[in-house]
Amino acid sequence: STPSNSSAASDVYKRQLLRMKYPITHKCFDIIMLNGEDLTDRPFEKRKEILRDLLKGFKTIEYVDYTTDLERAWEEVKRKQEEGLILKRLGSRYEHTRSYSWIKVKNWRHEIVDVVGYTPGKNTRSIYFGALVLAKNGKFRGCVGSGFNEWQLRKIKEELDQAEKIDRPFEIGDVYTAVKTDLKVKVKYYKITDSGVMRFPVFEGIV
């Protein structure tokens, strides 16, 4: 075989090995078109029925079922530490935008963390701070810049001003002032990234 053919055969072999080592299954939740026919106006239950029948026998494409037992579904989400649920009204059509027929319920987590610094504020927040730099067990946990009311901004700014300025315990990819303080805050967040940082944190209160 020519060098190019040999290289192509090698690539195919590598892909096959990867498929065996890391099998991929596509999960299908809904269907909006089949053989050129628009199914968006079909009721939710009918679309699920069409999708289930269509995927029978497929090994790499998995039909995702639904349930009307919301309490049990929510407990399962919390047990598995999943992101949340999508609630769809029975009989609803497929909509490409946000709708009262489709509601996303997030599985928010809550955590108490240490304040170890703050970023500079901008615009209306310029007299306060931008976001609080947070840590847990001495490791960077993320930054929270939303959820504050006016009184909380003033109260926290007073404590930050009085706190001792120290060297930055870690770099976060942004400019911030590190402080030594006993200030702890409660934050809700969506999930934790692989690097241990909170996603979409929102301030809930001073502890």
DSSP 3-state percent helix, strand, coil across the chain (nearest 5): 30, 30, 40
pLDDT tens track for 131-185: 999 999 999 999 999 999 999 999 999 999 999 999 999 999 999 999 999 999 9
pTM as predicted: 0.67
Q: Select the more confidently predicted residue: 5 or 45.
A: 45
pLDDT tens track for 91-110: 999 988 888 898 999 899 99
Strands (E), the chain: 26-28, 33-34, 37-38, 61-63, 84-88, 102-106, 109-118, 132-136, 139-144, 164-166, 177-180, 184-189, 191-192, 198-199, 202-206
In whole angstroms, what is the distance from residue 51 CA to residue 45 CA? 10
